[in-house]
Amino acid sequence: MIPFILKRCLFMIPTLLGVTIIVFLMLQIVPGDPVNSLLSPDATEADRKRIEHELGFDKPVAVQYVDWLGRTLEGDFGRSIIKQLDVNSLLFDAMKNTIVLAFGAALFSFLLSLVIGIYSAYYPKSWIAVFGNMIGLTGVSIPNFWAGLILIGIFSVELGWFPSAGMKSVGGGGVFDTISHLILPAIAVGMTTLGVMTRMIRSSVVDLLQKDFIITLQAKGTSSFTVLLHVLKNCTPTILTVAGLQVGYLIGGSVLVETVFAWPGVGQLIYQAISQRDFPIIQAGVLVISIMFVLINLIVDILHAVIDPRIRHA
């Protein structure tokens, strides 16, 4: 098992290095100049050159990348160009809120897809199966941010059941207040995952119910609960693989949803930084999300190998 884990960790190194290169070069080719936001209307060319020198923008691109990568490996993401605050602190505070949103979305989508997917496989003509198919098609068809706008229009504007923005009420607080703010954005973020997982779980369970060993168990009079346990055990590797990928998408897909709901997470932080051309925040935010996505895939690979020993020797 240890050689398998070490091999997977070694494979991460070139992946993460490639991510850093893409993240850095991506901001070199996008239009806009962060120096302009720091210059006063009457600034001179000398002022521009001074600021470029202070930020290191007067160095060759390769040197800028090496300097940035060196600081990043030390855990130093620098200072925000616009806010003049430590990026590590800004990113840490925002990441906590993003994880809360991603956890809520995962809880909503995973549990509901498991229930609907299994029930739809056992009772394909039931109204729940029809509802599940509708959810599956809707979830993979509607963008997360558009689902967020629809949810706000229905449940915030028309019905007034849930707040439409922020993480806490003004002057409020507490767990229940946070949960009430979390419900709509969590549903919006988890809609696509719900659609993907529901369809995948349903097809996996339907396929297993047609296997000879399941039919044999049913013929022997094995209880339905025991048969269900066998079904879940055999489809767990597939569910785990897809769920692991979806966790990464939940974190990355929250960018636009956080903007729609004014949720103070990494997505909103990156969105504000893009509009202000605050490169250190953009680079750090995208890099951290990418690293989390890679780490989640590593964890899924390890869990998959634990459940299915054949993977270790693949």
68 and 120 share a domain?
no
106 and 133 share a domain?
yes
Q: Kindly state whether residue 289 falls inside one of the protein's structural domains.
A: no
- What's the pLDDT score for residue 83? 74
37 and 102 share a domain?
no
- What's the pLDDT score for residue 39? 63
Residue 18 lies in domain: 2-73
Q: How far apart are CA 260 and CA 307, in angstroms?
A: 39
Q: Which two tokens stand for residue 53?
A: 């020198």
207 and 58 share a domain?
no
220 and 249 share a domain?
yes
| 306 within 8 A of 284, measured Cβ to Cβ | no
Taking the CA atoms of residue 256, residue 259, residue 264 and residue 267 in that order, the dihedral angle to the nearest 10 degrees is 30
3-state DSSP call for residue 28? helix
DSSP assigned state of 262: T
| 205 within 8 A of 118, measured Cβ to Cβ | yes
220 and 161 share a domain?
yes
| Inter-residue long-range contacts of 33-41, CB under 8 Å, 24+ positions, other chains counted | 33/277, 34/81, 34/82, 34/276, 34/277, 34/278, 34/279, 36/277, 37/81, 37/82, 37/276, 37/277, 38/81, 38/82
Q: Kindly state whether residue 120 falls inside one of the protein's structural domains.
A: yes
Q: Kindly state whether residue 194 falls inside one of the protein's structural domains.
A: yes
141 and 62 share a domain?
no
- What's the pLDDT score for residue 289? 80
114 and 243 share a domain?
yes
Q: Kindly state whether residue 81 falls inside one of the protein's structural domains.
A: no
Q: Kindly state whether residue 99 falls inside one of the protein's structural domains.
A: yes
183 and 255 share a domain?
yes
220 and 272 share a domain?
yes
Total structural domains within the chain: 2
16 and 151 share a domain?
no
CA neighbours closer than 13 Å in the CB half-sphere of residue 302: 14
- What's the pLDDT score for residue 314? 54
Q: Kindly state whether residue 212 falls inside one of the protein's structural domains.
A: yes
- Polymer length of the chain: 314
Q: Kindly state whether residue 170 falls inside one of the protein's structural domains.
A: yes
69 and 17 share a domain?
yes
- What's the pLDDT score for residue 241? 73
Q: Kindly state whether residue 305 falls inside one of the protein's structural domains.
A: no
Among residues 73, 104, 130, which one ends one of the domains? 73
Given a cut of 50, the residues of the chain with pLDDT beneath it are: none
Among residues 73, 102, 124, which one ends one of the domains? 73
Q: What is the CATH number of the domain that holds 235?
A: 1.10.3720.10
